[in-house]
Amino acid sequence: MRPGLRTSASYQRVPLYELRDDRAVALARPPGPVAQTRRIDLAAYRFQPARVRVRAGARVTFRFRDQAAHNLTFASGPRAVGGQTARAGDRVRARFAAPGRYQLFCYLHPMTMHEQVTVVPR
């Protein structure tokens, strides 16, 4: 390998944003209570529920309910997780192996679609 070349990219946390009074404002976490579920719906241009808690190793199913396309884009967390762009009727399963806080968003609708998965040790 030539000097100065990288074999991997450095980690960069991507903050989540929402619109407030026509301004982009950084979010610490999506609003709402924490749910104990392994199913998350992408419906009405939202992740529902927006915050979940699972045990390490859990597989979470993301169910696409809108006719509009959505996707799972990794913003931050201990390990990269994501999924392809999909539409109504599609499902994407993601495994959350490492404990920590994962934040995801839909890059097609980044101001309204945010998800936080908190993974606790087994």
Domain boundaries, the chain: 16-120
The per-residue pLDDT for range 30-87, each reduced to its tens digit, is 999 999 999 999 999 999 999 999 999 999 999 999 999 999 999 999 999 988 899 9
Alpha-carbon span 8 to 28, nearest angstrom: 27
5-24 pLDDT per residue, tens: 777 767 788 899 998 999 99
CATH architecture for residues 16-120: Sandwich (2.60)
